[in-house]
């Protein structure tokens, strides 16, 4: 099956073969792929070569390894358009069940950088909401939201157990109109690794979003850490 004369290295050809099996449904989600030994025999290459192909696909998020058991086909990552939607809306629109675990909920005067970004006067307080967000009971992201107390003074525990956007828009009748967002890849820290149930070191996607109401008043800063093995962000761009 391999072309030994090809300039494409053996590991890349095996990788292409495994990838096409996954994408065309030969190997389905959750199924174990053939063992390293079986692949070694099938392709007549060294175990190192097979391992290299599998490692590349694990790093791409198409496969995952389970210690002592084997290598399995991973659930495809969530493809999240870069849009101003809430976590609850995003998950429901995919037919997944959103849920939250509240880690902390405080009311205090924020650090100077948050106060400046939220355009707060000296001494003005924010609510700080830290939640783990789940889709179908799997941890996806950790969100730390900062909201000016003066805009949502009656924010309570039961509001953030559900959808925060629904509270802001339906209960408070405020309109979230636009946002600026930046995203970067970082290595997960110890605390977030525990919340997200991932090993260290793992790459995660860090997002900071500042959302504004129609009158350009900042309503929320969110600093989120997303599991990079479960999420990819996509956008339509035109020239």
227 contacts ligand 16G (rule: CB under 6 A)? no
Strand-pair partners of 78:
231
Report the residue number, 87 or 134, with the smaller CB distance to ligand 16G.
87
Gap between the Cα atoms of 92 and 7, Å rounded: 46
Cβ proximity to ligand 16G, 209 vs 227, nearer residue: 209
Q: State yes or no: residue 159 binds ligand 16G (CB under 6 A).
A: no
Return the residue of 71, 134, 174, 209 that touches ligand 16G, per CB under 6 A.
209
Query: Distance between alpha carbon 176 and the CA centroid of its chain, in Å?
Result: 22
Sign of the dihedral through C-alpha 62, 68, 70, 16 = positive
Chain Cα centroid distance, residue 20: 25
Contact between 222 and ligand 16G per CB under 6 A = yes
| DSSP designation for 11 | H
> What is the number of other CB atoms lying within 10 angstroms of the CB of residue 149?
16
Give CA 73 to chain center in angstroms.
19
Residue span 71-90 as binding mask against ligand 16G, x where in contact by CB under 6 A, dash where not: ---------------xxx--
Window contacting ligand 16G (CB under 6 A); options: 5-13, 22-30, 162-170, 190-198: 162-170
Q: Shortest gap between Cβ of 143 and ligand 16G (angstroms)?
A: 6
CA-closest candidate to residue 135, choices 183, 76, 192: 76
Q: Which residue of 204, 207, 210, 228 would you call a contact of ligand 16G, by CB under 6 A? A: 207
Residue 145 within binding range of ligand 16G, rule CB under 6 A:
yes
* Class of residue 184 by CB neighbours under 10 A (exposed 0-12, middle 13-18, buried 19+): exposed
Q: Can residue 165 be called a binding residue for ligand 16G (CB under 6 A)?
A: yes
Task: Spell out, one character per residue from 90 to 129, where the chain touches ligand 16G: x when CB under 6 A holds, - when not.
Answer: ----------------------------------------
Residue 115 Cα to chain centre, angstroms: 27
Instruction: Provide, rounded to whole angstroms, the least separation between the CB of residue 92 and ligand 16G.
Output: 9
Instruction: Give CB contacts under 8 A, 24+ apart, made by 51-55.
Output: 52/11, 53/11, 53/12, 53/14, 53/15, 53/18, 54/18
| 192 interacts with ligand 16G by CB under 6 A | no
Residues lying near ligand 16G in the complex (CB under 6 A) are found at: 86-88, 143, 145, 163-166, 207, 209, 220, 222, 224
């Amino acid at each position: 099956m391999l072309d030994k004369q090809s300039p494409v290295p053996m590991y890349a050809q095996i990788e292409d073969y495994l990838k096409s099996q996954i994408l065309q449904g030969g190997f389905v989600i959750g199924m174990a792929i053939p063992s390293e030994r079986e692949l070694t025999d099938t392709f007549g290459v060294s175990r190192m070569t097979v391992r290299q192909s599998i490692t590349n696909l694990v790093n791409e998020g198409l496969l995952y390894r389970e210690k002592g058991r084997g290598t399995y086909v991973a659930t495809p990552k969530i493809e999240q358009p870069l849009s101003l939607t809430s976590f609850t809306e995003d998950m429901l629109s995919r037919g997944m069940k959103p849920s939250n675990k509240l880690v902390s909920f405080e009311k205090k005067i924020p650090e100077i950088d948050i106060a400046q970004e939220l355009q707060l006067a000296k001494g003005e307080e924010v609510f700080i909401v830290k939640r783990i967000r789940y889709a179908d009971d799997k941890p996806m992201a950790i969100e730390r939201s900062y909201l000016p107390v003066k805009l949502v003074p009656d924010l309570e525990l039961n509001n953030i157990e559900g959808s925060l956007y629904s509270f802001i828009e339906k209960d408070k009748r405020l309109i979230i109109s636009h946002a600026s967002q930046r995203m970067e890849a970082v290595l997960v820290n110890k605390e977030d690794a525990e919340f997200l149930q991932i090993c260290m070191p793992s790459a995660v996607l860090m997002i900071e979003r500042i959302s504004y109401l129609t009158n350009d008043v900042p309503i929320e800063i969110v600093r989120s850490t997303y599991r990079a093995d479960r999420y990819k962000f996509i956008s339509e761009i035109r020239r």
